[in-house]
Chains A and B, each alone.
Chain A
């Protein structure tokens, strides 16, 4: 169980996040966590609840709210992903997700820079926070002053991995090399936005206009930790349906069942250009407190009795 001091720090972070977004005209929403249909994702397994599911992210509901006219939304909620358990994973975790209509992923990256500096300025006394422009993690000093480094996935593989991105994809070892060779090197001087993922690894992101082989998707890394995943949303229903069909096929090949989220696809007709991002709040707190495992910053880590 988290100590009273730990709970107080966690509360301060949640309140600071709220005040950042409320100060920027975002609307806080709380959508259902138990749903009859989810966005199909090949590598995310949901928990079943009767014949429904616990949400793996609030994306489906939030995009449907955006489609009916909300311009800026954020949500702090619990998400559930089966079989994800480790130093940086918990099957139940806290997610911050926010969306901004009229934006693309570059505007979101800039907003991440502002969010982190706002949090660092407001969370004095956190052991990983050294003033509003600097974090300290595992004995290293990480500068928050913008602009943070933007590195394409292809550049990152060229710099850190033994194989190029093309070779890694061809030899089916993209994820292994990402986890073993690339991720541990990211975000030690300044935070890093790893961007422009191969299209097949970004089912919900739109292709980049000047290079349609990659998607406008980024992941934020600080101190080797993957903290957030954002993209320019794919708002083209036919293309989204085709991507979902591929995901569904892969899910069924694993012996699982999943449905096409028809209502969601319908609502995409009404959704204009939008950018959205999901950030792991527990990992963020771990970073800001200089801790190395999620168990150290969540109220209960399986220790109920």
Chain B
């Protein structure tokens, strides 16, 4: 069990059977009054957010959360399948659960799958992924149009801005936290 004084940004607690993550937190205490813990939480399954003020004697259960390293296999009909490479157990997550993570997911990629009890609810990607550029305008040497970047599409269908020298068939490194181009990868 957690008590209210354990609350802080990033802590995960269980409320009414669902796992929540604290996304904003502030301690307050009016003069001579009792301590209040003002929190903003996000439901880790539905994504719904709410704010609530707790008192010192409020208690919270720890949610049964576990991360397992799994390999991405394939996507079909909005179901995205992953496999535990030691037990060969397979699970899937929905398009909605994966959200923007789909921009970076390619076959055989290793990711951390977050389980709430037996139920997979989220994944975390490596911070940097290498993806192949599938659509890019050719680089015209000596181009003085003044633009520093150009749009390209990578193998997942994700579009981003890159320097003009990046060409179709190149592999580029992308920061999955921001979706931005880091560098061209030589293979």
Footprint of B on A, CB under 8 Å? 41-43, 83-89, 174-176, 178-180, 183, 201-203, 219, 226, 229
Known: A43-B35, A83-B35. A178 touches B29 (CB 8 A): no
Interface string of B20-46 (1 = CB under 8 A from A): 000000111111111110100000000
- Which single member of A42, A86, A175 contacts B30 (CB below 8 Å)? A175
Contact: A203 with B30, CB < 8 Å? Answer: no
> A183 — which chain B residues lie within 8 A by C-beta?
30
Query: Which residue of B is nearest A81, CB measured?
Result: B29
Contact: B32 with A83, CB < 8 Å? Answer: no
Known: A84-B29, A179-B36, A201-B32. 17 other contacts (CB 8 A): A43-B32, A43-B33, A43-B34, A83-B5, A83-B35, A84-B35, A85-B27, A86-B26, A87-B26, A88-B28, A89-B27, A89-B28, A89-B29, A176-B36, A179-B38, A179-B53, A203-B32
Secondary structure class of chain A's binding surface, majority of residues: mixed
> B31 — which chain A residues lie within 8 A by C-beta?
219, 226, 229
Known: A83-B5, A179-B38, A179-B53. A41 touches B32 (CB 8 A): yes
Distance in angstroms from A46 CB to nearest chain B CB is 14
Count of chain B residues with Cβ under 8 Å from any Cβ of A? 14
Footprint of A on B, CB under 8 Å? 5, 26-36, 38, 53
Known: A85-B27, A87-B26, A226-B30. A176 touches B35 (CB 8 A): no
Q: Which of B5, B30, B33, B35 has the most chain A CB atoms closer than 10 A to its own CB?
A: B30
Query: Which residue of B is nearest A41, CB measured?
Result: B32
Distance in angstroms from B22 CB to nearest chain A CB is 14
Q: How far is the CA of A179 from the CA of B30 in the complex (A)?
A: 7
- Which single member of A87, A89, A176, A202 contacts B32 (CB below 8 Å)? A202
Distance in angstroms from A31 CB to nearest chain B CB is 21
Q: How far is the CA of A88 from the CA of B35 in the complex (A)?
A: 12
> A179 — which chain B residues lie within 8 A by C-beta?
28, 30, 36, 38, 53
Q: List 23 A-B contacts (CB under 8 A).
A: A42-B34, A43-B29, A43-B33, A43-B34, A83-B35, A84-B27, A84-B35, A86-B26, A86-B27, A87-B27, A88-B28, A89-B27, A89-B28, A89-B29, A175-B33, A175-B34, A178-B30, A178-B33, A179-B28, A180-B38, A183-B30, A202-B32, A226-B30
